[in-house]
Amino acid sequence: MGLQGEKTREMFQRASRVIPHGVNSNFRYWGDEDTLIITRGEGAYIWDADGKRYIDYRLGFGPLILGHAYPAVLERVNQAMQSGTLFAWTSPQEIELAERLAKVCGLGMVRLTNTGTEATMHALRIARAHTGRERFIKFEGQYHGMVDYFMYSSAGTPPGSMGPRESTKNVQMTRGIPAAISQYVINLPFNDVELLEKAVAAHADELAAIIVEPILGNVASIMPQAGFLEAIRSLCDQHGIMMIMDEVKTGFRVALGGAQQYFGIQADLVTYAKSMGNGFPIAAIGGKSEVMMTIEPGVVAHGGTYSGNAVGVAAALATLDVLEKESVIETINQRGQLLMSGLGEILTDAGIPHALSGPPPMFGIVLGVEQPPTDLRSFHDGDLDLYEEICAGLCERGVQPDIDAREPWFLSYSHSEADIAETLTIFEEAVRAAKK
């Protein structure tokens, strides 16, 4: 692709001398010639070091639900900082935020933390402490953060590596995890109730949790089939297993009350991050009060120096204000739908088989298939190379989804109808160029 302009290249090379591979998260590395240096964001746009503007559909991997540098959020954060940011005590704002989260998301109690990884890590500990059990089920392709326990068959699992559906293999996503960790993790294909029932029957007494991304936000927004989440809920109820919904991507985005509201299913523990703070580091673990009260000083640990810090809390309060008072979710649904329909038409006209999956505020595109995939294995049937080529063409022309087809297109309140129209024009050009 060669996305870097001259200044970007220079800065990237400078970065690479002091930051491994020039990035502070491996997911941001697109290779030595395409990894960007971004200097500014506003609304739906970001600008690189050469001043090139992109319409941004990555949105920092999802968080910027209102758009970059959203004034109401910045004002609240600015104001909050003037009174100090960290006290190692509870602040009135933390209480207000917990109350509002509990109400909006249908939670008994809430603990604040800073990142999705911290939230899922603590949720798993609470589930284990609550049940006195150690193993857990997750689903292939689901990403729950950088914790050792979750780094099996998560984002980036190569096709053909997971073994047979009936006896899946845990694919270790990184070196540096003790081999023994794998025994605690059972990976299953998403959307397969029969295999789930079998696994639960075989391991019920050992299972602390079933953790699920209710929509596969790390595999092209694959949707749960009717009855799948319900089956998890009911198996958890039957066997005293904790259902953990990882709403780090879906929270505040698919509905104000997240996927729990969208699908009408209540989990025992829920994790939130991303859209909760519109780009500021703030996250939460919530759930039923009796489960959350497993946390006990000196007995069951949850902590963090920056948990509930004033900046993250102010950002979350301001974001919630906008989400509650303005028609944000309606708008990102409407604009997302416009975009999905337009992209679909262009692909149909170009004779490229495709499936669009997921809800409009975070949808995926899989090329070369007639039906939306139902799990990571069927996602791998898609033409990922063609997708990458089209996305490379988009980036060259100033529209930026992720080049990895697993990552959904994210909509923000700042994406206008004009931005969607411009995106569609550019998409048509990129498709035409890729077909050549």
Residue 296: strand pairing partners? 300
Q: Is 251 in the site for ligand PMP (CB under 6 A)?
A: no
Q: Is 273 in the site for ligand PMP (CB under 6 A)?
A: yes
Q: Is 249 in the site for ligand PMP (CB under 6 A)?
A: yes
Q: Is 400 in the site for ligand PMP (CB under 6 A)?
A: no
Residue with Cβ nearer ligand PMP (218 or 221): 218
The active-site residue, picked from 56, 274, 375, 413, is 274
> Binding residue for ligand PMP (CB under 6 A) from 116, 358, 360, 408?
116
Residue 245: strand pairing partners? 212, 270
Contact partners, residue 219, CB within 8 Å, separation at least 6: 141, 142, 155, 190, 364, 373, 375, 376, 379, 406
CA 366 vs CA 312, 347, 354, 356: distances in Å: 35, 11, 6, 6
- Supply the minimum distance, in Å, between the C-beta of residue 348 and ligand PMP: 30
Q: Is 246 in the site for ligand PMP (CB under 6 A)?
A: yes
Which region, judged by CB under 6 A, interacts with ligand PMP, from 101-109, 166-174, 182-190, 212-220?
A: 212-220
> Helix, strand, or coil here: 238?
helix
Pairing of strands 53-56, 38-42: unpaired
Per-residue contact track with ligand PMP, 47 to 86, x per CB under 6 A?
--------------x-------------------------
Residue with Cβ nearer ligand PMP (210 or 426): 210
Report d(CA 188, CA 185) in Å as an integer. Answer: 10
Q: Is 415 in the site for ligand PMP (CB under 6 A)?
A: no
N- to C-terminal Cα distance for the chain? Answer: 16
Residue with Cβ nearer ligand PMP (52 or 144): 144
> Helix, strand, or coil here: 60?
coil
Which region, judged by CB under 6 A, interacts with ligand PMP, from 34-42, 104-112, 142-150, 354-362?
A: 142-150
The active-site residue, picked from 45, 70, 143, 387, is 143
Structure tokens given for 124: 């798993």
- Supply the minimum distance, in Å, between the C-beta of residue 285 and ligand PMP: 12
> Binding residue for ligand PMP (CB under 6 A) from 91, 117, 168, 378?
117
- Residue number with the smallest Cβ distance to ligand PMP: 116
The residue type at 181: I
Which region, judged by CB under 6 A, interacts with ligand PMP, from 67-75, 182-190, 210-218, 284-292?
A: 210-218
CB 168 within 8 A of CB 157: no
- Supply the minimum distance, in Å, between the C-beta of residue 87 and ligand PMP: 24
Computed from CA positions of residues 103, 106, 112, 114, in that sequence, does the dihedral angle turn out positive or negative? negative
Residue with Cβ nearer ligand PMP (73 or 211): 211
Nearest to 434 by CA among 363, 350, 362, 357: 350
> Helix, strand, or coil here: 291?
helix
Structure tokens given for 379: 């996602």
Report d(CA 335, CA 236) in Å as an integer. Answer: 37
Does residue 246 carry a catalytic annotation?
yes
Q: Is 218 in the site for ligand PMP (CB under 6 A)?
A: yes
Does residue 7 carry a catalytic annotation?
no
> Binding residue for ligand PMP (CB under 6 A) from 12, 45, 143, 184?
143
DSSP string covering 193-224 = HHHHHHHHHHHGGGEEEEEE-SSBTTTTTBPP
- ∠ CA(151), CA(154), CA(155), 5° rounding? 120
Contact partners, residue 317, CB within 8 Å, separation at least 6: 76, 93, 96, 97, 100
Does residue 288 carry a catalytic annotation?
no
Residue with Cβ nearer ligand PMP (29 or 87): 29
Which region, judged by CB under 6 A, interacts with ligand PMP, from 79-87, 99-107, 243-251, 369-377?
A: 243-251
Q: Is 120 in the site for ligand PMP (CB under 6 A)?
A: yes
Report d(CA 224, CA 213) in Å as an integer. Answer: 9
The active-site residue, picked from 48, 56, 192, 246, is 246
Residue with Cβ nearer ligand PMP (209 or 346): 209
- Supply the minimum distance, in Å, between the C-beta of residue 159 and ligand PMP: 21
Residue with Cβ nearer ligand PMP (196 or 245): 245
Instruction: State the number of binding residues for ligand PMP (CB under 6 A).
Output: 15
Q: Is 294 in the site for ligand PMP (CB under 6 A)?
A: no
Contact partners, residue 356, CB within 8 Å, separation at least 6: 340, 343, 344, 363, 364, 365, 372
Q: Is 406 in the site for ligand PMP (CB under 6 A)?
A: no
Active site residues: 143, 246, 274
Q: Contact residues for ligand PMP (CB under 6 A)?
A: 61, 115-117, 120, 143-145, 213, 217-218, 246, 248-249, 273
